[in-house]
Structures are given as C-alpha cells and as structure tokens.
Amino acid sequence: PAQVSNISKQMIPKVEAYHKRKLSDKFFCVYPDATYVLLRRETFEREAVYIAIGIKPNGHKEVIDYCIAPNENILVHVMRNICAKVRVEDREAIMNEFK
C-alpha cells in the first residue's frame, strides 16, 4: 500500500499537467466516447471513463483529454472541457455530435 501511495503522489502533478496542457495541433475530427471499468475506491464498482480522441489531418490519433466519473451526470463537465479545447466555430457541430 505504501508503494502505491508513493507512486500516486508522484503521478498526481503529471496528470494535472496533462489535463491543463495546451494542444499542439489542430484536429480533423474529434470522437468523444466512454467506457466503464472496475475501480476500487471506497467500494469496488464500475465507473465511467470519458475520453475525447482527436484525429489530426495526417491521420494520427491523440487523446485530447479524459476524466473518470462514477455516473453519467458528469457528462456536462465533460462537454465543458471539450468546448474549452476546440475552436469556437467548431463547437456547435462537435457538441451536437457529442450529444
């Protein structure tokens, strides 16, 4: 348990930096998706992992951002995070696809 705790403490700043990073490129399209995985917190339950994957004009895929949420009510926050990462002129189309 101590080793897991130490690794977690080292990773937290790196994960926070990843979520706050500036995107380096433009994306041809963005695919939001979610999957459920078993996670152990207070209990051992399935939680949703929401992810936004961008495809660059050269065809390479990149994870734009992700978040882990215990229920689907977090979708509003995911939508806001995606909106913050896309061009203003593309937001309406992307959000319609996301919905």
Beta carbons within 10 angstroms of residue 53's beta carbon: 16
Of 36, 33, 77, 73, whose CA–CA distance to 54 is shortest?
33
Predicted confidence band at 28 (pLDDT cuts at 50, 70, 90)?
A: confident
Give pTM, 2 decimals.
0.61
Q: How does pLDDT run across 32-86, given as a tens digit for each residue?
A: 888 888 887 777 778 888 899 999 999 999 999 998 876 655 577 777 778 888 8
- Would you state the pLDDT for residue 26? 85
Domain ranges of the chain: 24-98
